[in-house]
Each structure stands twice: as structure tokens, then as C-alpha cells.
Chains A and B, each alone.
Chain A
Amino acid sequence: MLELQHISYRVSAPEGEMDILKDVSITIPDHRMVVFTGPNGGGKTTLAKVIMGLVQPTGGKILYNGEDITHLSITERAKKGVSYGFQQPPRFKGITVHDLLLLAAGTEKLSKERCCAYLTKVGLCANDYLEREVDVSLSGGEVKRIEIATILARHSELMIFDEPEAGIDLWSFARLTETFEQLHQEGQATMIIISHQERIIRLADEIVVIANGEIAHRGSTEQVFPLILADTLGSCPVIERKETVR
């Protein structure tokens, strides 16, 4: 179980102090699939990074399986079973897809069949990709799918994916949603997915809408999805003001 208690994150900006996260508290039970969604700049990625340890909160506590992990390093959290798929994964000159899968799996050997299984789940063929370097010769979408494959190879108990759909073509996206659905059905892992895609949102047990550094809404797809749609249809305040003047 993951518990975020009163998480805040404040940064200094030229215009003064800014609160990126404001007293966010949420509990995510085991084996749930939770989607964080909301407007750009609302704090979703920061909150996800706080869980992985990529961002140190300025206030609050993170409990994972009852243990306070607030001050643990990224490495320590990874060893406790937390994994994180980056929105824009880095590239590595000289490190192959196979090397990355090995590192992710934490083993010295990984059969081609296992590698193939992970890569197929993200719509890539092991024969074409396993020995390729994860460098600029790969497209953004390919790097992104390899990133997701590394998370699958970790078999961690808590998987965080930051906009897994970003940069991925429609066909691969369809395969990816099947993979998320399958993972969820297997019930082995808790998944937090930052996403704006309806197909992913509809797979979730719970939707958490994060806006202005706070949880704006949370609940089941049936409860929250109409609220998202209502917000989406909302008009521009500037235009609205002009229309009022007329």
C-alpha cells in the first residue's frame, strides 16, 4: 500500500515562492490501477516523481507498505519494488536494448524468449531491436516503448508510468493498452499511470484529477469521467469576459 500524507513541494521562482504541490494526501491500496490526470502544469509528474524519489518533497510523508520511505534514495526505493517509466526517457550511447533489459531485470542473463516477451508487449520485435543501441538512431516512440519494456522487466510491485502514450503511434498504443489491461488483470502490481487518454482512463479502478497542485477530484471512472468532460467543455475565461462586456 502506498500512502502519501500531506505532500507539499514549494520552489523559489523569480516572482516569489511557488507551491507545485499543496498538501496532497492519497492512499493507494495494493494491486489497484490508478490514473493521474489533469491539466498540464497541475503537478501530476511532480507527484509521481515524489513517489520515486526523483523529487524530494518540502513537506509531508510517503509510506510504502507501512515503511516511511520519504528520505530513501531512488536506488533504495527501486530495490523496494518501485519503478518509474519516464515521459522522456534518456538515450545511452553504447548501451543496447538487451543491456537495458538486463539491468532492469537485475540479472546477468535473460533469455531471448523473455526479452522477446517484454518487447512484444510494447509492440517491438526482439530480432530487430535487442542488439540496437538506445541512442539517437531510435525514434522517440521507439525509445518510449523500450522504456516501458524495462519497467515490465523489473516485475516491480509498484509501477509508475508518466504519459506512456506520449509519442507512440496509434497501432502501438492499442497494443500498450492491452498490456496495461493484462497487467491489471494479473493483479501482481499496483499501477499509477499519468495519462490523458480515454482508453487508459477507462481501464483504471480510480481516477485522480490533479490541478493547481491539489487533488481536484477522485473516484471511479463513472464518477470522475463526466467531470473531466465538463471541464474540457468549459470556455476560455478571457473570451467569456469579453462576451459579458458586450
Chain B
Amino acid sequence: MITDIDAKLLEKIADLTGQPVGAFNLRKDSGCEARQSTEHIDISPRTDGKSGIDIRIKPGTKGEKCYIPVIISKSGVSELVYNDFYVGEDCDVEIVAGCGIHNSGCDESRHDGVHTFHIGKNARVRYSEKHYGEKDAGQTGGNVMNPKTVVYLGENASMQMETIQIRGIDSTKRETDFFCEAGSEVVVTERLLTHGQQTAESDMSIQLNGDDAKGRVISRSVAQDQSRQVFRPVMVGNAKCFGHVQCDSIIMGEAKIESVPAITANSTEAQLIHEAAIGKIAGDQLLKLETLGLTEEEAEDTILKGFLA
């Protein structure tokens, strides 16, 4: 049963209000709350004994959307989930994942999710995952999320991945690995906010294995209070390829951020660029917004929202 709390979580992480149209799988407190397959998208439980689902999208499927959100509203739930995606050739589809935790107790709630994508030739996939946590007032149970994403991109396939940590996640270790064949293209946009005593680590590896493969990582983060963040995006060029890694962070309070973008070329034809910047909110930005009538707090909020949008 979907409670008001669940509904709010679903709206936060997947922009969902009511039951989605098309294929979906709603996981709640380690169980399947609802599931629906369509003519072109089949969602079924795994058969290898591991927890999770297989999502098979028929070749040539275009314009369809698939929702697979996860919500945890019991305190003390800990799960390890494997979801495998098989996207057929020439598809053009959107997949919306995401995880929301509402912790109402003092026990840790934890979701470890491993998503593996096998994307066929010429297919286009837009994939988004939002992570969000909240607690009842006075409760101390930690919210932990460790997402791992592995993507095998076929020839001339493309994936736009948007991964966002909205707020409320006490600890996260994120791992993202792309293996890109010739002519394929990946754009990863990472947005991450930590506050309080939270910690976040993000390791990313993009292997550009085929000629004319392209990779781009855009990482933006905000660390507030005493939170800590570590980013290690690595772009590896093994062929005639182009890769760009860009990390930008805003540091506030007593936070600490470590940003270590790296590029590795194993081919003379690889063209790779990385850049990283960490800084506090610029004083002239605050002043400008104040001259538009915003208070200092509103100005700060506007700058952060824009930066993480």
C-alpha cells in the first residue's frame, strides 16, 4: 500500500504522481509493490536467486518510458538489489530510477543497487536516478545508498545519465563504469548535495574503447556544514576518441571536498581534457542577487539551486 509518505518520496525521486503510464516496477521495503510490463518492455524477477529484476526492451522500441523507483519507509531495512537492463538495437527510450528513504526510527536504512545496462547498437537511452533521504524529527537512523552503475554501450549507441543526490543521504559510495564501443557517446551529469556530517564518495570510469567514441562527465556538487565529498572520475582513451571531465564544487561551512579527475590515454589518437574547480559562493554573486531584492539567505539558496539544477 502506498502511504502519503511513499507518495511524497515517489514525487521527489521520480516526479511521479499516481501510477505511471507504461512499464514500471515499484519496489517498497524490499518487496515488489507493483509491476507492469508492456508490449515492448518486459520487466520480470531475476532467475539467478539474486534480488532484483531484468528489464528487456525490444529492438526498435521508441518513445517509451520505464519507471523503476525504490522506496524504503521502514527503519532498519538493508537490501542489495541487482537490476539488469537489456536495451535492444535502435531503441530510443527513457528509464527513470531513483531511491527514496524515509527513516522513522533509530536503525540504519540502506539500499545498495547494482544496475547493469547492455545497450544495443544505435540505441539511445536517457537514464535518470535521484536519491533522497529524510527522517522523522528526532530520529537518528542513518540513510545509506550505494548505487553502482555499469554500462556496456554498443556501436553508435548513446546514453545520457543524470544522477542526482537531492539531500538527506548520510553516506554514499557511488560507482559508475562505462565501456564504450566505436561511435558511441556517453554524457554523465552528476549533481550532489551533502550536509551535516554526511559523506559522499563517487568513483567513475569511462573507457572509450572504440574509434569516435565520446565521453563527457559534468559533475557539480555542494558540500555544506561538516560534510565530506570525494570525486574520482577517470576518462580512459583506448582509441581515436574524445573525452572531457569537468568537476565543479561549492564548498561551505566546515566541509571538505577532494576532487581528483584523471585522464589516461592509451592511444595517440585519444583527445582527453579534464578540469576541476572548488570554491565558495562568490561575494559578488550574492550582492548582485541582493540588488534584485533577495535576502542573503534567498540569494544563497538561488545560487545553490541553479548550480545543482
Contact = CB atoms under 8 A, between A and B. Distances in A.
Given A94-B220, A94-B307, A106-B293, A86 B302 contact: no
B2 interface: no
A94 B308 CA distance: 7
B303 A92 contact: yes
A78 B220 contact: no
Contacts, number: 58
Nearest to A153: B292
A83 B309 CA distance: 27
Nearest to A154: B292
Contacts of B307: 92-94
A26 to B, nearest CB: 21
B282 interface: yes
A95 B301 CA distance: 12
Interface string B280-292: 0010110111111
B290 to A, nearest CB: 4
Interface in A32-91: 52, 54, 73-75, 78-79, 83-84, 86, 88-90
A1 to B, nearest CB: 21
Nearest to A94: B306
Interface residues of A, number: 23
Interface residues of B, number: 22
Contacts of B29: none
Given A75-B295, A94-B309, A54 B287 contact: yes
A93 B248 contact: yes
B294 A90 contact: no
Contacts of A73: 290
A8 interface: no
A86 B290 contact: no
Interface of B: 220, 248, 282, 284-285, 287-296, 302-303, 305-309
24 contacts: A52-B291, A54-B291, A74-B290, A75-B290, A75-B293, A78-B290, A78-B291, A84-B291, A86-B288, A88-B284, A90-B282, A90-B284, A90-B285, A90-B287, A92-B285, A92-B303, A92-B307, A93-B307, A94-B220, A95-B302, A103-B289, A103-B302, A106-B293, A154-B292
Interface of A: 52, 54, 73-75, 78-79, 83-84, 86, 88-90, 92-95, 99, 103-104, 106, 150, 154
